[in-house]
A and B are shown apart, each in its own frame.
Chain A
Amino acid sequence: MTSVAAEMAKAAPWNDPHARPYVELVRVSKFFGDFKAVDDVSLKIYRGEIFCLLGASGCGKTTLLRMLGGFESPSSGRIYIDGEDMSGVPPYERPVNMMFQSYALFPHMTVEQNVAFGLKQDRVPKAAIRERVAAMLDLVKLGEYAKRKPSQLSGGQRQRVALARSLVKRPKLLLLDEPLGALDKKLREHTQFELIGLQHQLGVTFLVVTHDQEEAMTLASRIAVMDHGEIAQAGTPTEIYEFPSSRFVADFVGSVNIFEGKLVEDEPEYVRIASEEFGGTIYVSHGISAAPEATVWAAVRPEKILMSTTPPQGADNVARGAVQDIAYLGDLSIYLVKLATGKVVRITRPNTTRHAEAIGWDQEVYLSWDPSSPVVVTR
């Protein structure tokens, strides 16, 4: 099964300046009293995307979602869905449906009645309602639970009822507020792929709000990382992970080692950073745009750091340290190595063999990485 995200990544409408966005936010802000929940956000979402808003709680992602749903109105800025201005359009007239974090299933109705609710509201003929509800329940594999009340279902089943109820009206845009937040880890993983499959089948554009970076990486065609009401960076999962634009994004998505330093050599093809924290110079094989002598940060992902007991070749990007701690996670191990400068570096290594590791506690090791691995950020 090829996911929509993969297809979207190939098509990449966001790189095409002529592509028409399906959902567009233009300089949207929202204040609650003095508090700026959403601060001047502009976004373009294209048809068929699974777009994730990723951020810690209180970063404004849910407020943004609620503005798209029509439950909050922007203090300034405009929202367009399929070219139509949504200002002043109430929730019940928007071509948008929402899957609530609490699911918000109607407790006095059966599963079937819950799913049929929106269609009845639209005065769809009875026979058509029956057909569409049955088809939707089959799609989420709840056909045999049609007559049950929500309180008689498990958490995972309720989640699927909520999904079915919000999808049955075939909205132009489906808003999902932490759709998998209430499920346990195993079920969550399974449901993520189900969600992708469903989206592929129905072709509905998804906007997902989540605080779980793993969830965002799995689901999304693109991710917008939010911080204090602003969008820190928007891009494909690979862009966000491999080319973070700031320390915040690098740190928020995955784990990272960040070394502060001064730009000493600034060439178009490479830069050299003198870092006290690292205890040497960091050589990066790509140019950056920053003033000479500027303070910059080199961010290196834990899995991109090589660890050896013998000194590697070359003088750049090499540091010595002692293993301070090892966390064995089964598939991989996390090593915390304390450098001579006092900086603790995090390294992950896959456990490719079943035998005990050659590197143990307190062992002196050399750390090094490929000159293409670090990302240099200026903020």
Chain B
Amino acid sequence: MKRLRARFSGRGLVVALPYLWLLLFFVAPFVIVLKISFSEVDLAIPPYKPLFSWYAEHALAIRLNFNNYAFLFTDKLYADAFLNSVKVALVSTILCLLIGYPMAYGMARARPRTRNVLLLLVVLPFWTSQLLRVYAWIGLLKANGVVNNVLIRLGVIHNPLALLYTPFAMYVGIVYSYLPFVILPLYANIEKMDWQLIEAAEDLGCRPWQAFYKITLPLSRNGILAGSMLVFIPAVCEFVIPTLLGGPNSLMIGRILWDEFFSNRAWPVASAVAILMLLLLVPFMMWYQSIQARETAGPSG
């Protein structure tokens, strides 16, 4: 009885809970997807052939089909979509950082009262659904939308610009949607910084921009990394925004995944795409984790 209690102590339970969660909602679905990725397409429900089948009476046959993966490498479409996704995610991350950093910096340096208002304004868009917000951008960017109308009224242009269904519109949508994910970790990071360090740097001969480059920027590295990961990883797999704003030419891996699953009903190929996408992102995650671990393990801040 005593041993039992020790084994199911509160602490063990607390530690076990997140593992159980991950097992149930990450590992299990992953195994299922992995299984499907090795199967063959079939006209059935579900639309793939089982991996395991009884052969004769006592022998279990396992049929692993590698064609799905091979197919991804033979058709150039997939590689292009892959590279394009990474490119879009990378550009979006950089744009988010360039826009988000000054905002986070400004917020951190604002007075406490203004700071809370600004913080609220950053979080406010989350109160409406992302889909609605992306639809709002269609209204803004379309040929007779707000942006074109204003520009024509002002006499800047005479014919409406083709804004919607272009890469430009897609970037606007992605950057707009993910900006808070860069601002919040950066703000949390910069806000903690000791401003006297900047004064010390200026005292030692730094102009303000040099103090920023040599002190503020390196000290906000963790915020930059966290923000980048929070944008890059979901942006690689982004599906809604490229579809709604980017038009037919925005070839992204999320879109391919959707098409394979729902248009082609090619579950095995779609699963293979999903698995490869995951493998692509794992190195980034591990790199980030190792940096985080080094920061927290060492006494050096």
Contact = CB atoms under 8 A, between A and B. Distances in A.
Interface in B204-252: 204-207, 210, 214-215, 218-219
A108 B194 contact: no
Given A107-B301, A149-B299, A152-B299, A98 B210 contact: no
Contacts of B299: 149, 151-152
B205 A104 contact: no
A121 B202 CA distance: 10
Interface string A177-211: 00000000000000000000000000000000000
Contact of A106 (B200, B203, B207): B200
A92 B202 contact: yes
Contacts of B22: none
Nearest to B218: A108
B93 to A, nearest CB: 23
B201 interface: yes
B202 A91 contact: yes
A292 to B, nearest CB: 54
Question: Chain A, interface size: which category?
Answer: 20 to 34
A351 interface: no
A38 to B, nearest CB: 18
Contacts of A117: 201, 204, 214
A97 B204 contact: yes
Contact of A90 (B194, B197, B202, B301): B202
A215 to B, nearest CB: 21
Contacts of B194: 102, 104
Given A100-B200, A104-B197, A108-B218, A121 B300 contact: no
Contacts of A77: none
B290 interface: no
Interface of B: 194, 196-197, 199-207, 210, 214-215, 218-219, 299-301
Interface of A: 69, 71, 90-92, 96-98, 100, 102, 104-108, 117-118, 121-122, 149, 151-152, 165-166, 169
Given A117-B204, A149-B301, 14 more contacts: A92-B202, A92-B203, A96-B203, A100-B199, A104-B197, A106-B200, A108-B219, A118-B205, A121-B206, A149-B300, A151-B299, A152-B299, A166-B203, A169-B205
30 contacts: A69-B199, A69-B203, A71-B199, A90-B202, A90-B207, A91-B199, A91-B202, A97-B203, A97-B204, A98-B199, A98-B203, A100-B196, A102-B194, A102-B196, A104-B194, A104-B196, A104-B199, A106-B200, A107-B219, A107-B300, A107-B301, A108-B219, A118-B204, A121-B204, A149-B300, A149-B301, A151-B299, A152-B299, A152-B300, A169-B205
